[in-house]
A and B are shown apart, each in its own frame.
Chain A
Amino acid sequence: MSVLGERVDPEASSNWTTGLRTRLQRTVPPGQILPDRQPVYVASWIYVFGVLSLAAFLVVLGSGGWLALGGVTWWHTSSVGHFVNSLHLWSVELFFAFMVIHLWGKFWMAAWRGKRALTWITGAVAFLASIGTAFTGYLSQSNFDSQWISTQAKDGLNAVGIGAWFNVLNTGQMLLWHVVLLPLAVGVLAVLHVVLVRRHGVVPPIDADVEEPT
């Protein structure tokens, strides 16, 4: 709306808000952000593992936030701390198991078909970022295990020449990477991935008789 009350043409407007709104509206087709109906081929267990990965990721974030509230001495000494620590570990284990099965399913479906290359790429990069997050999690345990892993990791990372960029022996740096930088990267990539899935729709089976953009 302009100050006079008439509607502004979004195409003609240079207003940032209008431009962003138009962009968001164009990103996902109307009604596809949270659809309540899906094509019949989606009624298969193999299509469940993407959302299972997301559910596990939310438990990882929740339990990780809880650990951050209590702190190191709490998760090492109290029974509730031990429980939340285990909850964080096992939700990560399930997150990776679900994500890998999702990856296998999508690989054998050739899920990059129908202009879905960016969906595939964001998923693959999110997987790599998740591995980095998990590895820095090992370094953040603050026990002999994390000390052992960090000394082994620094040799491997220095051998491939990336030890100059970060120091796995620096517990403070690795803890901050684990609780801020890498979860943020995984979260942003996961949101982008889901938005792209909603934009292009779920990939049909290879032999499905559906019209797809080439």
Chain B
Amino acid sequence: MSATSVLADGAGSYVHWGVVQISVTNLIIIGVMLVVFVLAIVLPFPGNRRQRESEDQR
């Protein structure tokens, strides 16, 4: 085992895709951020329905 490979041990798993190389941890974080982004667009904002109802009653 070379010195380089010893140093690299425990450095985490990486995904290789052509010239792209990214750690699995960072890939998961980006995936979670994308999920949060989509949820922020899709999920209704609390209080919005209540405000609309009170404006309709006026």
Contact = CB atoms under 8 A, between A and B. Distances in A.
Contact of B40 (A40, A43, A100, A105): A105
B37 interface: yes
Contact of A43 (B29, B37, B48): B48
A44 B56 CA distance: 19
B30 to A, nearest CB: 9
A212 B40 CA distance: 25
B39 A45 contact: yes
Contacts of A101: 33, 36-37, 40
Contact of B33 (A43, A44, A46, A100): A100
A45 B43 contact: yes
Contacts of A49: 40
Given A45-B39, A46-B40, A46-B41, A40 B33 contact: no
Contact of A45 (B33, B40, B51, B52): B40
A138 B33 CA distance: 22
Contacts of A124: none
Given A44-B40, A45-B39, A97 B33 contact: yes
B48 A48 contact: no
Contacts of B36: 97, 101
Given A43-B51, A46-B41, 13 more contacts: A40-B48, A43-B45, A43-B47, A44-B40, A44-B41, A45-B39, A45-B41, A45-B43, A45-B45, A48-B40, A97-B29, A97-B33, A100-B33
8 contacts: A40-B51, A40-B52, A43-B51, A45-B41, A45-B43, A46-B37, A46-B40, A49-B40
